[in-house]
Structure 1
């Protein structure tokens, strides 16, 4: 059997009447349909087929007319000319400005394969030529990745350690979800899904009698095939409600004092804040109701249920992509610690079930193959979501995780893997910042907005066109991903592109170590094979692996209970925090002296939310969640993604009363706007969103019309704020966004998001 892999899962490769055909992995109980459309003609029409250079840059050199990026055509050139020009430009920038003037942008889900992973390839190459300015953390988890190591453990370790779904079904009695458990998000895993498990896990829990409570502005992000209690809550009010729950638990004397004393530090300091002794404001459910919109009696009733049952508290990643995003995650841990069930089967907290397929698996923790990236000689970095700040403010200071840093002066952006004009916020601001560098080079498979705005575009292959090894930790499958089609046009894999540039730069041997791509695959597999053997997992040799196509590792499954060893003996199995315990109050964070992130969880008013002054002009809170029909912006032109659009645009979901108040009807094209921008979307009227809230999923390819100033395709990041969550993490705040919706002001034009540029 031949297989190919993608983030959405494993696909079997067969032959249909019109050529290669993909079908779902037969052992997957809930396969994602997204990846079935990777060969669609609509997608192929948007491919980058030959190396292309922006006309002004080609004619006049680096820095020529950067304001024309995205508005000017390209000239296609040979691979030799393109790689020679890239090598020369890297050399020029290094000699004139140093390697600190090169930003190695590679953010996104570039590949499920572990060798042909663009991030690994670009980082190895740039380290070979002297280093680059890197980014830290992720848009998905900017606040949590900085916060959680201070108070419990790293997000990576916590994600690997989530209590298994069968354990939840056997032991959990009450599952309280802040932000739901969206199965659409769990269609994916970074190295590819083995078998999709979230729907079945939730269904088994419901059949076992587990009670579910979904505290969220939307109702449809937790489906158990059984009853779910929906508590509509104002976006941005999560921390306030958690404090109200904590107060009610404390008031009833239901908090576990013994657990707080044995396994935590900082409880007395937080207790003084919770009760109001330190600031004069008790965080009662009545106090919380004015902030989160949940009636006090409902909060008290839920608190009593949580204290009387084996309770799992789950918090969605979306909650920390907001103003003061650290606080709901810190309060989730604190609330679970008060219940004293952390480390018990079926109790504690999750961060979070449903964000990826991985959380909750019983599969073995085995390290997959990884291309060595070498050492980066450049120490400068930025938090990932601060790229526009860096470009617009070279030399300006910024704070991150208690340290003081300075933004470098970037002259060259080299991007491979990912699409900044999907991930970033306030895209008009990014578009302005994007004009600052002298040269922008991208490896791209499709003519995305980032490719349109580059100076040099180098066509890269997709997973459909190369051999690779796919293994995601905790997914239970090791797969030989094989080519399905020949490379489209003149596309090359990232390793070969960098090899050719390295040859022009005189460092080919250092980059390749004398290995071809096939040699590297064999080498990485053999290293992994020896490592796994030491863990008691035996693999066949490489040729036998290729012949088998896939290896099922589920025989090595073991049930998992998060933080059970720590709970059993905190001294013998301490946490990797300064105290070795759960830090309800952190001396380290307090010592940073950051005004918008003090030393214990607190309520801090968001900059943008329904309680802000700006809500008088923009009364709708816009949520920009993960789309159901693609991963981020990947495969947006595919038939499956297109089938979910409304008249060709991304749908925006609105409560019936809000639509009626504005005279808007289901299926209409509407304009969504605020002070940062305007975009068009297709209206879907639904009672699944609470009044005062709209939902516009991310991932519609950015299509800005310079004549009208309108984004024509429904990209919510035309409206979101490019503002840090706090001075601790500098994470993004996409979910803190106020808008208004109306009928379009200007004549509606068809979008051009999927139209390739003009070529000379």
Structure 2
């Protein structure tokens, strides 16, 4: 029997509202049920729509917290590198050792010799980039790498093509599309905003055709797509430019949109048709590079250009390569010459920063606005 309020509070279960820290584009709600200081289960958003519902990965955080493989204290290597031999040391010893090494490097070489290469897999306040950067700034600063392998190609391409990184549309707008192309994009695993897979599933149920272009038969291709087009890794740019060749030579481009909203089309056309370098970027030319058949490239180009509004969603993955920004630029330009930008059911591919759960509300509680104003 519980004899006092303190024991009652300790034994009762509390629900702690928190969020998932995975850097997947989602910002999902997690509700941790805690009893006696221990998480008993985790649930997600069950309030009114729109919901920020976590996937099974986020709802499995309890397993991560209590995993036997989780590091709970500092370990120091005692064997040769790669042997896997470590000894446990105190937090005080670990902190003093790391701090003395950092200060020693600063004294001998200066702050510029301290290279900070952060990862992006966790967006939590304790384990993210911010606390480490703030700490190093307290001792005079550090050197940080330019760009980031995760999204630099897509970011550069968005700024070069649109002049903004705020691209993309709300996921529910996909229900207004006549065609959706998932290019190097696997939201069934990578999420890309809460509810993305749900809206894609609703689109398919509505009869909207979904095509996946990817070297791998991904979960998204298996579950969401009507068609899968395998492509040789790293050759996406060639296929996108060959699609532009079909669209331009068959006069399927949106000339009115091009003349009103774009610059540089004539120079781009000269490159695609081969006037610049003597090599027309035909589907047959692309077939030898990509292993995607000439006819498949022609069919996809025609379908994308004539199914307006159509959403070409080019993922970041193919841009994580040498000259990967050219893939992102090629996809962005294809969206532009077909006039699939700024319309319901279309999609301005690119950096895709406009996640509805991430960018719509700022710290002040007011809705954020990009440089492109709605007319």
Q: Normalized against structure 1, the TM-score is what?
A: 0.42
In structure 2, what is the equivalent of residue 200 of structure 1?
A: 198
Partner Cα distance (1:247, 1:563) in 2: 31
Greater share of strand residues, 1 or 2? 1
Partner Cα distance (1:305, 1:53) in 2: 59
In structure 1, what is the equivalent of residue 67 of structure 2?
A: 44
Q: 1:165 to 1:142 in 2, by over 3 A?
A: closer
1:97 to 85, 99, 109: 109
1:182 to 181, 187, 190: 187
Q: Deviations over 1:202-226 (max 9, x none)?
A: 1222233322122222333435966
Q: How many angstroms does 1:70 deviate by?
A: 3.9
For CA contacts below 8 A with separation 6 or more, give which structure has more relative contact order: 1
Q: Deviations over 1:301-360 (max 9, x none)?
A: 22222222211111121110123211211111111111122111111333477xxxx865
Tell me how many residue pairs correspond in the alignment.
351
Partner Cα distance (1:41, 1:145) in 2: 32
Q: 1:118 to 1:283 in 2, by over 3 A?
A: closer
8 Å contact 2:32–2:43 — kept in the other structure?
Answer: no
In structure 2, what is the equivalent of residue 82 of structure 1?
A: 94
Q: Deviations over 1:263-283 (max 9, x none)?
A: 222111111111111111211
Q: Quote the RMSD (CA, aligned, Å).
A: 3.2
In structure 1, what is the equivalent of residue 11 of structure 2?
A: none
Partner Cα distance (1:272, 1:11) in 2: 52
Partner Cα distance (2:373, 2:222) in 1: 30
1:277 paired to 2:281: no
**Secondary structure of 2:277 counterpart:** coil
In structure 2, what is the equivalent of residue 32 of structure 1?
A: 55
8 Å contact 2:44–2:53 — kept in the other structure?
Answer: no
8 Å contact 1:165–1:201 — kept in the other structure?
Answer: yes
Q: How many angstroms does 1:142 deviate by?
A: 2.9
8 Å contact 2:30–2:54 — kept in the other structure?
Answer: no
In structure 1, what is the equivalent of residue 172 of structure 2?
A: 166
In structure 2, what is the equivalent of residue 6 of structure 1?
A: 20
Q: Normalized against structure 2, the TM-score is what?
A: 0.81
Q: Deviations over 1:85-135 (max 9, x none)?
A: 3333333222211111212232232343x4x24311111110010111112
In structure 2, what is the equivalent of residue 365 of structure 1?
A: 360
1:121 paired to 2:131: yes
Partner Cα distance (1:13, 1:243) in 2: 49
In structure 2, what is the equivalent of residue 20 of structure 1?
A: 39
Which residues in structure 2 correspond to 1:331-730 (within 5 Å)? 331-351=330-350, 361=356, 365-368=360-363, 531-532=364-365, 535=366, 565=373
Partner Cα distance (1:133, 1:243) in 2: 38
Q: 1:339 to 1:88 in 2, by over 3 A?
A: same
Q: 1:227 to 1:337 in 2, by over 3 A?
A: closer
5+ residue gaps, structure 2: 1-14, 23-27
Of 100-109 and 278-287, the range deviating more from structure 2:
100-109
Partner Cα distance (2:222, 2:52) in 1: 16
Partner Cα distance (1:273, 1:49) in 2: 57
In structure 1, what is the equivalent of residue 263 of structure 2?
A: 265
Partner Cα distance (2:64, 2:102) in 1: 36
5+ residue gaps, structure 1: 57-67, 190-195, 369-530, 536-555, 569-760
Partner Cα distance (1:139, 1:328) in 2: 15
Q: 1:77 to 1:203 in 2, by over 3 A?
A: closer
Q: 1:24 to 1:279 in 2, by over 3 A?
A: same
